[in-house]
Each structure stands twice: as structure tokens, then as C-alpha cells.
Structure 1
């Protein structure tokens, strides 16, 4: 019995199997790394610095060997943001350390001339009466009134605080009240004030930090009555109204 002869296979190229996979696509550069670099380079605008740092840190986590490309861009963005941050801190530090150099006000700003009928800490005089909005308020000028009519505050004397750096509100208050208490004991007619039956308190009016840094040292001792209950001078006969007092 003859065996069947097969067809020759020489030179036959097999077709590739169906569904053979294509090479995987190359990963794209991290968009966060690009954004971090752009924001870091525009650090001349302070608002871009914090987003640049945040995006740079996140981009570092998603880039590197075996991950998405762009690690160098993220590092560059962080470095640029760091350089701009150091520059801004140095600029702000110099500004805060030397306020007179950068202020828009001239050295005389602490004793600016008030409007007619008003007084500042530089122009107020012992014996004058004025309206004070609140006992702890901060104000640059007060409206003068006659001491014979209703008013809230009367200046009973003044002293000059010693030179030095700005002491702060609490330290200035701690120095002012004892000295004003001694001036009150000498200048105020306490029996007449007590007989009037009004709420009255010992207070003071002094410079704020800006005025102090412009050389203002005068602190005025006052009698303050909420609701403008004072209707006459609280000063005793022969009160010492010199500046400084006593």
C-alpha cells in the first residue's frame, strides 16, 4: 500500500497569530511636574509659590524610575519656588526691620496738624476737654469741647515718657496709670467730682506705635466719663497745668 505524500513545506512562512499585542505606549510627562516648573519660575508673583511647592511635591511622588517622566521638571519647579521664597522673606524682613525707610509718611507724621476744633496727642493741652468715643479706642485726633458743657473727657495733666524703643501698649499703660494717679491726687477736685454723682475714671491718652517711632513721647492724663456726663471742670483751684505736669 502506497503512503500518501505530503506537500513540501520548504519556504512557507507561518502567519502571525491572530490578536498579536502591539508595543505598549510610552508614558507621557507628568502634567503636574510641568505646572510646578511654570509656577516656580513665575515666583515674582507671591501667590504662585505655594501652588508650585504643592504640585512639585505631588509630582515627585508620581515620577522617577519606573514611573512617569518629569522628575527633573518637578525638582526644577521646587528649586525655583525655593529661591523666590527666600527672596521674598528677605525683602519683607528688611521692610519690617526698618519701617522709617519704607513708610510713605514724613517724620512729622506723628504730629500732623489737626483740623480746626480738633486736637492730637501733640497739640492737646492740660485743662482742655474733648469727646472720646471709647475709653480703650485708638484714634488720631479728638474733637475739643468747652469744659462748661457736657463732655466725656478732661485732660488733668501730662508727662513725658522716657526715650527708648516702643514699649507696647501694656507697658505704656503700666507706666502711665501710676503717674496719672499722682497727678490726679494733686490736680483734681475729688469732693466736687464725687458730689456730682457721675461715673468717672482715671485714664490716659498717649502715642501709638507710629507716633512713638516718630518721636512723640507726651502722655496725657485724663478723667473720662462714659456718656459725656461731665458738666464742668474737674480741676481743683490752682491746679498745675504745666507740660510736663509736676
Structure 2
């Protein structure tokens, strides 16, 4: 579970990151709004200060929410009712006024995650990454409010990537998951299915190629929709 602390005070940011890591989260920090908007891989939770040096925190909140279902908790010294209302109207999931205790912050993170990480009727957690939703039980895939029809192989590839967005999944891992644990055939078949998956999802930059390693889910607003792998040399006839 990745938590991004957006805080321009290095002392506060360091305290929060260390506390989150002790609690078992993967945590990091940035000190500006632009860094928050371009963070890769996209975090599961954003702890967002409103008083940032470059972009107003409310604008960062609005822009994050317009492209993603990431959990956003505003963490700020602004305690007026108007500030709370404005942040919640811009898409924040919760609002915490400084100073606060780490135990309360962790409890609020857990509560927000229960709300924003839905489960299906059988209690199995759905896989989410921005506007992408993958249901492992029903094999249903949606991008925003659009349902995407995938073949079984395409779904297996996407599920392998969506389990841990941002992690590079090797070509061999995907082949063993979607085809066979003892796959010895040509790996070009994987490229064909990934290309079809990209076309069907219709989100530039969502499925990234990592040269020499494999594939991962990227952040669409910052990841290019072009493979980072060089083109294959022409085949001589």
C-alpha cells in the first residue's frame, strides 16, 4: 500500500513518512503540487497539504480527482469550516487538521480505504488503478463508466499488472500466468495480446513496456503511450 505525503515542510514530511513506514506502509514524500501530480507509480493514498509553494492544494486535489480514484486525505493547518467544505467539494475523502496524532491519521487512512477500495458481493477486493477497475471474480473490466470486453488471455495479462500497479511484471511471469507454467513458445505472442489490450482499454500510457524486463501499469497523465523498447530489427527474407 503506497502513501504519498505532499508536504513542503521537510520536518513534518519526514515524521509522517517514518510513522507510515513503521505502520507497514510504503511511504514517500514530495514538496510541491507538480511533483504530486506527476508521481509514478500512482499511490493508493495521498496525504495532501493545502499550503504548497507552487500550486494551491485545492487545485491539486481537483486535478487528482478528475483523473483518478486515489484516496485523498487533506492534512493541513487550515481548520475553518469553509476550507473543509471546499476540500471535500473538490474531491477529498477526508480532512485532518494539524496538529494530530499518528494513531488518528492511521485510523483515518484505514477508514478511507474501506470506502474507496470496494469489494464484490463475494467479499473479494476489486483491483483499481485510477479509472481502471478489474473484477477478478467476474472478469469484468471498466474504464470510468465504460465496460471493456477482453479475451481470457487479455484479462489474465491485465490482472497480472493490476494486482500491483507500478511493479514491473516480467514477460516470463505473464506467460506462465496467462499461458502455461512451462511455456517455451515464442514470446512475440505476448506482444500481440498486449497491443490488443492497449487498443481496447483506450487509455494512452496505461500499459507501459519496460525495455528488457516486461510490462507495468503506468500513470496515464504522465506515461507515454509508446513502448520504451526499441523497434525490432527488420526480418530478412
Give TM class, smaller chain.
under 0.3
Structure of greater relative contact order (alpha carbons < 8 Å, 6+ residues apart): 1
Relative to its length, the structure with more strand (as a share) is 2
What is the TM-score when the length of structure 1 is the normalising length?
Answer: 0.19
What is the TM-score when the length of structure 2 is the normalising length?
Answer: 0.20
